Structure 1
Amino acid sequence: MRILAVLLGLFLLLSILFDSFETMVLPRRIKRRLKLSLFIHNGLWRGWVPVARLLRSPGMREVYLSYFGPLLLLFMLASWAVGLIVSFALIQWGFSSPIIAPEKIATFETYLYMSGSTFFTLGLGDVKPATVFTRFLAVTEAGIGFGFLALIIGYVPVVYQAFSRREAQITLLDAHAGSPPHAIEWLHRQHNMQANEEEMGDVLHTWELWCADILESHLSYPALLHYRSQHERQSWLAALTTMLDICALLLVGLDGITIPTARFLFAIARHTAVDLAQIYHTSPRRSAYNRLSSEDFLRLGDALGALNLTFRREDAEQQLSEMRKLYEPFVLGLADYLLIDIPSWLPGSHPVDDWQTSPWDHFAVWSQAKLEEITHLVIEHKRKLPYQR
């Protein structure tokens, strides 16, 4: 029994040290083996999702889900610390290490108390090691505890820095493609700004770098997949899907637009979607929901026609469908797993961006409804004015 306790303690100690090191310090692998952190994530997420599905309000559901990412990170740190304390207690108890304690006979609870006091370097002195070997184990635990807490906690800001970089670019997308973002809305606003192909290519190159950053940071720290954006209608997955949609349209071919950068962005964006789907074994899914039906494709063609854009190929619908098959199953799988809404191909009739809304804007003079009303009156007034040379 005591030998099994020692072996179990050693196994637990080495497993936690390796798991924490690979997760926080050297997390660069796509294929995840069976690890303690993976069991922690799966157990918490399986208990978290059913409650989220019961919440009917999208706002409440989003707020509830936003707590999971940070809590997962904190819970993993706490689990590793508790596991190290228990592992050293098992080793000390398994060796029946002599200790000086108020109890006449040291129990496992006594060793557990001494292990916790040593790990957090409390130095209370009520329970002390009595032999050289016991002191060696205590010093070893104190060193591991001090180094573990300093190293792991020191890497926590790295996670939040990656989150901030991700959200900054997503926030910029609000004015460029709407909230939630849409590919056709992005083209519409680029057309309104009279952006040329070079300027559009620069924008897509910026998103190419963003996808590469997302791929590296979220593979390194998978908890970031659960970090939600600050606004309800924005998310990293919606932004990634929009970029893939834009590239799909450009690669199928639009008369008057040739942007080679779209091919590079599509490659890295699809790479990001596929690799992130592998982290938690989120298999690609064929959803019953069709993001672009034949009716929607006709409406898409009309929307492009309003921008003086047309497809180069007669079989554009089939080609676009083939392009969508390369990434939509992975995106839909991630969306279903993470409970994130992804945008449709076509925006609503009156899209309102997040920057145009606030609790005060709905009633203020500068509200979206008021702005549209004023704009309409100005246009009508100009039409009634006599023509002037």
Structure 2
Amino acid sequence: MANLVVPRGLRSRYTRLIRDVVRWPFQAVADRRNTFEGKDLILAWAAPLSILVTLLSWLGLAVVGFGFILAGISDRGLAKGMLQSGSSVFTLGFLSSSESRQTFVDFCAAATGPVMIGLLVGYLPAMYSAYSEREAEVTMLQSRAGVPAWGPEILMRHVQIPGLVTQLPALYQGWERWACQVAESHTSYPVLIHFRSPRATRNWLIALLAILDAAALEVALNPSKPKSTMRMTLRAGFSCLREIADVEGIGYDPDPDPDGEIQLSYAEFAQGIDMLRYAGYPMERDPEEAWAHFRGWRVNYESLAYELAYRIDAVAAPWSGPRRTARQVLLVRTPIDRQPKTKAKSDAAT
């Protein structure tokens, strides 16, 4: 219950255990589905159901606890103690006692049940409000980042439409604020981490990763551009991931080496650069030189993003790491598959 009343990220092994136990059968069934859409439809039930199961487990533990107390202070025995406890916790009142000590315990039990239910019901609007705000930005990004979102496609789409590239700083500023809001809400209510988007091809983590990659690419490719907005977005983004990782119990290096290795290969990086070059994105550095700078930024967030994407089984996207089932990657169309074949078609589409 501390997760509901204390406005800060608390790690609760009990609630994590309940969440994992509830999720396991859904995950087992989802892993056998042939399409990611079918998989997502099954997994969408796991997180909301875990909230209900958590409440029921709280009430059940309260019944057991008060039952042992009543059995210990009376001669009714454990079975009748549990019945009397359940009668009080659920405010049914069909079994009680006139003995003062038992009456006091009954009052405490009768207050516990409604308080637990009231706390959870009272905080549900706050949780769903945070979820709605998160998904609104993810949905808005769809037209700018593709489906599923990808960092290079953000830059490609902005450079292809005249005048749109000037909106990139505002986009980064909005996502800097979004990252701070998600860090606060998802550490206060960790179950939101596992709430899935309304559409299978959208995901909050993949959207954030795309924004971070786009900002890192701009910093790496064009050193003469003003960097303050992009750098602040990058820092807000990987700080958000680190705070969520603390709640999830994921380890990370708080001060990684900028020259350290990352899982993204240079070949994958070059593929994204080729797409940007084809779209006419201006580049001051060549790919080999930009790779070192891009890697220096990505080392701050890549491992956390990959681990979280694997845990929540996010939609497969370029530059987002492996998933539980290899076939998932093959069933989702990546942004590069949708590019026009000729420059003429590109201009017409624009």
Indicate the RMSD between aligned Cα atoms, in angstroms. 2.8
CA distance in 1, matches of 2:62, 2:163: 58
Question: For residue 111 of structure 2, what is the aligned residue in structure 1?
Answer: 143
Contact in 2 for aligned 1:201/1:259 (Cα 8 Å)? no
- Is the contact made by 1:27 and 1:219 (CA closer than 8 Å) also made in structure 2? no
In structure 2, runs of 5+ residues without a counterpart are 254-260, 320-333
Tell me, yes or no, if structure 1 residue 23 matches structure 2 residue 32. Answer: no
SS at match of 1:128: coil
Aligned pairs for 1:26-175 within 5 A: 26-29=6-9, 32=11, 35-96=13-74, 106-124=76-94, 127-175=95-143
How far apart are the structure 2 equivalents of 1:76 and 1:281?
20
* Aligned 1:194-233 pairs, distance under 5 A: 194-195=162-163, 199-233=167-201
1:106-165 superposed Cα distances (whole Å, 9 cap, x missing partner)? 3422222221121121233xx221211111111121122222222222111111111111
State whether structure 2 residue 316 is matched by structure 1 residue 348.
no
Work out whether 1:309 is the aligned partner of 2:297.
no
Hey, what does 1:187 align to over in structure 2? 155
- Does the CA-based 8 Å contact 2:262-2:299 persist in structure 1? no
CA distance in 2, matches of 1:146, 1:82: 13
Bigger drift between 186-195 and 57-66 goes to 186-195
SS in 2 for 1:315: helix
CA distance in 1, matches of 2:79, 2:55: 22
Which piece of structure 1 moves more, 128-137 or 300-309? 300-309
- Aligned equivalents of 1:84, 1:29: Cα separation in 2: 24
- 1:337 aligned to 292, 311, 314, which one? 311
Structure 1 length normalisation: TM-score? Answer: 0.75
Aligned mate of 1:294, from 266, 269, 274:
266
Q: In the aligned structure 2, how far is the partner of 1:61 from the partner of 1:141?
A: 41
Q: Is the 8 A contact 1:197 1:259 kept in 2?
A: no
Cα separation, partners in 2 of 1:326 and 1:311, compared to 1, 3 Å: farther
The alignment covers a number of residue pairs equal to 322
Aligned partner of 1:25: which letter? Answer: V
Q: Distance in 1 between matches of 2:8 and 2:36?
A: 34
Q: Which amino acid aligns with 1:113?
A: L
In the alignment, residue 60 of structure 1 is paired with which amino acid?
Answer: G
Report the Cα offset of residue 211 of structure 1: 0.6
Between the aligned residues of both structures, percent identity stands at: 27
Alignment match, 2:298 = 324
Letter in 2 for 1:323: W
Q: Is the 8 A contact 2:262 2:298 kept in 1?
A: no
The answer on 1:282 being equivalent to 2:250 is yes
TM-score, normalization: structure 2? 0.83
